[in-house]
Amino acid sequence: MILEIIKYPDPFLKTHAARVESVDDSVRKLIDDMIETMYYARGIGLASVQVGDPRQVVVLDVPDEDENERAKGKNLMALVNPEIVSTEGETLYEEGCLSVPGVTADVERAARVKVRALDRDGKPFEIEADGLLAIALQHELDHLSGVLFIDRLSRLKRELVKRKYKKSLETEERAI
């Protein structure tokens, strides 16, 4: 089922997601619905908070660096109770967000991350990532802590992005 993606400035996006006590059928259903929603919205990642669920769940399908088009499902992963256990280096990447549509900004992130999580069956795993996958993991895990990519910008840049976003919403309303 395709879920509604919550848009900025909805206060629910500031929710600190709760740990999942056990991976059961309700969590697997959430994962499946989030995957369907992410593909429908043409995203590469989605956090549960973005669809109004306060549990720590993230789905990702990040294309390989050399792919022009994503091979749908090729790199699909679900992470329950994900946590970053180590980071390395720094990088700058132009990010966007399904909850802040039409807006992008350069965000400074760690260049490499190691993340620990549970899979859709409740089995623990770790993933080491760099490039776009490392960026997407950090971006989605931020959502579980109530942090949007625009919160990582300087105050001046954040205000510029907010104005641009507000203007795009006004333009969209006039077009309806």
- The catalytic site residues sit at 140
Q: Which amino acid is at 96?
A: G
Rounded Cα–Cα distance for residues 79 and 20 (Å): 11
Neighbour tally for 22: CB within 10 Å: 9
For the chain, the maximum distance between any two Cα atoms, rounded to a whole number of angstroms, is 49
CB-based contacts of 52, cutoff 8 Å, min separation 6: 3, 4, 6, 12
